Copies of this chain bind each other. A is one copy, B any other.
């Protein structure tokens, strides 16, 4: 008997199947003080442990250890105190601060090796404490080893606590491009520990507030009023208003991810990137000597002056925001803005990283944003000129 005759193959099978499916995550954001004090229960609470203690590989930013030299001992004591719940899966790893660690492939290789040597599995944890660059690098390694081990971030800077540390992205630089390699990978949890902030160098301290201004302008005019109001106190490093503002920025960021409808940026717009096309370019032109938060302040100022010039936002807004940024102690100008050809290349690089059509988010009024798909290059150059004048007064 010919088996092909016995069970005939269907004659008109469908030519394709198209099935939607979804993946569900939890975004967990904790606000804490002194995570590694022996009485703090945040970390054991965050870790859903088996009968066996959770295995945790710890990665720390050297910048934090320079500012708080006792920090390593505190971590070790904390793990010794919580042996029933937590165990160190390997030696604590130190990574140098800033973009350097994302540029030099050796740090990435070192982390993959460490995750391998610690025999981490998909239910183990990488706990990383540091600024945005160290979080990005470590998060990328954690995201791809075994297709993802659990990542807990403790952002140690205002910038990372307000913005990137709360997000779902990671990455390293390659071929001279920022975040050329990376993934969208929700962390297991993020813990914003305010005790890490008082020892920040001042340029790091102030850096996160430009992202707070950004998210306020995009989403919440009352929050922008609040930042304007507290700007002098923040510049003087008063903790309570600063912590409240960072917390609000983190909450808005989390809400955007969880309720914005496109956490993995599968569609075109990237609405949190207001002011970022020129910021990214200025960072790279400065060989990353310009901190991200400072570059964002300049990028916001430029896009607002541009918006005013093309009649998109009403005149007082640009001046108001620039005054607020200056009061905070943030720059609104950099000589590299006058390098107009490379600056304008930043627009195309921004488009390329996002893909598809250029989409730039601008702000008409605080809390009221809109997307545009082209920018007038001559108006950008006039905006640069006008910003130079404003900045020099």
Is residue A226 within 8 Å, beta carbon to beta carbon, of the partner chain?
yes
Q: CA A21 – CA B258 in complex, angstroms?
A: 5
Q: When the two chains form the complex, which single residue of B13, B21, B352 contacts A259, counting CB atoms closer than 8 Å?
A: B21
Let me know if B22 and A23 touch, CB within 8 A: yes
Looking at the assembled complex, report how far the CB atom of A215 sits from the nearest CB atom of chain B, in whole angstroms: 15
Given contacts A28-B16, A144-B183, contact A240 B50 (CB under 8 A): no
Let me know if A264 and B23 touch, CB within 8 A: yes
Q: CA A257 – CA B258 in complex, angstroms?
A: 23
Q: In this complex, what residue of B is CB-closest to A144?
A: B181
Let me know if A124 and B355 touch, CB within 8 A: yes
- The count of identical subunits is 2
Let me know if A10 and B244 touch, CB within 8 A: yes
Is residue A292 within 8 Å, beta carbon to beta carbon, of the partner chain?
no
Q: When the two chains form the complex, which single residue of B32, B113, B147, B238 contacts A4, counting CB atoms closer than 8 Å?
A: B238
Q: In this complex, what residue of B is CB-closest to A238?
A: B4
Q: CA A127 – CA B8 in complex, angstroms?
A: 33
Q: CA A264 – CA B24 in complex, angstroms?
A: 9
Let me know if A145 and B180 touch, CB within 8 A: yes
Looking at the assembled complex, report how far the CB atom of A123 sits from the nearest CB atom of chain B, in whole angstroms: 4
Looking at the assembled complex, report how far the CB atom of A159 sits from the nearest CB atom of chain B, in whole angstroms: 19
Q: In this complex, what residue of B is CB-closest to A192?
A: B16
Is residue A146 within 8 Å, beta carbon to beta carbon, of the partner chain?
yes
Let me know if B181 and A112 touch, CB within 8 A: yes
Q: In this complex, what residue of B is CB-closest to A16?
A: B30
Chain A interface size, as a band, is 35 or more
Q: CA A177 – CA B175 in complex, angstroms?
A: 28
Given contacts A17-B29, A26-B20, A31-B15, contact A353 B122 (CB under 8 A): yes
Q: CA A175 – CA B3 in complex, angstroms?
A: 46
Looking at the assembled complex, report how far the CB atom of A2 sits from the nearest CB atom of chain B, in whole angstroms: 8
Given contacts A143-B183, A144-B183, A233-B4, contact A122 B26 (CB under 8 A): no
The interface residues of chain B lying within 8 Å CB-to-CB of A171 are: 147
Let me know if A182 and B353 touch, CB within 8 A: no
Q: CA A241 – CA B3 in complex, angstroms?
A: 8
Let me know if B13 and A18 touch, CB within 8 A: no
Q: In this complex, what residue of B is CB-closest to A170?
A: B147
Q: When the two chains form the complex, which single residue of B7, B42, B149 contacts A355, counting CB atoms closer than 8 Å?
A: B149
**Cβ < 8 Å to B, chain A residues 110-152:** 112-113, 116, 119, 121-124, 143-149
Q: CA A264 – CA B30 in complex, angstroms?
A: 25
Is residue A59 within 8 Å, beta carbon to beta carbon, of the partner chain?
no
Let me know if B355 and A122 touch, CB within 8 A: yes
Q: In this complex, what residue of B is CB-closest to A240?
A: B9
Q: In this complex, what residue of B is CB-closest to A353?
A: B146
Q: When the two chains form the complex, which single residue of B19, B29, B122, B182 contacts A147, counting CB atoms closer than 8 Å?
A: B182
Q: Mark A23-47, 1 if CB is under 8 A from B, else 0.
A: 1111111111000000000100000
- Please give 12 more A-B residue pairs, beta carbons under 8 A apart, in addition to A50-B357, A146-B353, A147-B265: A3-B232, A3-B241, A4-B230, A15-B31, A16-B30, A17-B27, A21-B263, A23-B25, A116-B175, A119-B352, A147-B171, A147-B182
Interface residues of chain A, those whose CB is within 8 Å of chain B, are: 2-4, 6-7, 9-10, 13-32, 42, 50, 112-113, 116, 119, 121-124, 143-149, 169, 171, 174-175, 177, 179-184, 186, 226, 229-230, 232-233, 238, 240-241, 243-244, 247, 251, 254-255, 257-259, 263-266, 268, 351-357
Q: Which 3 A-B pairs have the closest CB atoms?
A: A122-B355, A123-B355, A121-B355
